[in-house]
Structure 1
């Protein structure tokens, strides 16, 4: 029977049936795959763009706050450094003043003792 079909000339009906049964479904499948791939790529790009936009909107205030915190921290560190430096300088200055005062007290004590001695002898 197959040999009979191979010997038989092709008709327009045979070509039409082959086109409908084989060619059109294959072409349709290829087109569907191509369209699906392009659509997926476009959707993926759109979703990524939307996601980036939303993330940027959400993260922008957080980044600004972080920059502000960093600036505040830097100012605080500078202030602590100034206080620490000032404290060291203040301690040195106070120690110097204390030493000067001790010397003056010693001189005054000697002066008082001299006057007391003079008063006692008179």
Structure 2
């Protein structure tokens, strides 16, 4: 039977049938594979571009939101530094006042001792 088919001339119907059953599915598969490869590459490039743009936007927005916070933080730090300096000056002044008072107390104690000694020397009646 195969020998009979080999001697039989090809018809348009045979070629059409072969094309539909063999060639078109094979070509379709090859096209699908090529399209899948290209789509994967395009998808990968698109994802990279989207991620890059998203990162840029996020960084920009984050910087925009954080900038005033950083400025306020710097201002607060400066205020704290000024307060610390003021407290240091006050503390120094207090220490100086205490030292002066201690000196005055010592002088007064010496004066009291002198006066007590003078009182003892006075003749009693």
- Confirm or deny that 1:51 pairs with 2:58: yes
Q: Normalization by structure 2: what TM-score?
A: 0.68
> How many equivalent pairs are there?
106
1:37-86: CA deviations, max 9, x gaps? 10001000100100000000000000011111111111111221221222
Q: Normalization by structure 1: what TM-score?
A: 0.69
- Confirm or deny that 1:72 pairs with 2:88: no
Q: Residue 99 of structure 2 aligns with which residue?
A: 92
Query: Where in structure 2 are there 5+ consecutive unaligned residues?
Result: 6-14
Q: Residue 8 of structure 2 aligns with which residue?
A: none
Instruction: Tell me how far apart the structure 2 counterparts of residues 58 and 22 of structure 1 sit (CA, whole Å).
Output: 52
Report runs of 4+ in structure 1 exceeding 2 Å deviation. 13-16, 97-111
Instruction: Tell me how far apart the structure 2 counterparts of residues 38 and 82 of structure 1 sit (CA, whole Å).
Output: 64
Q: Pick which of 48-57 and 74-83 moved more.
A: 74-83
Instruction: Tell me how far apart the structure 1 counterparts of residues 23 and 79 of structure 2 sit (CA, whole Å).
Output: 80
Query: Where in structure 1 are there 5+ consecutive unaligned residues?
Result: 5-10
Q: Residue 32 of structure 1 aligns with which residue?
A: 39
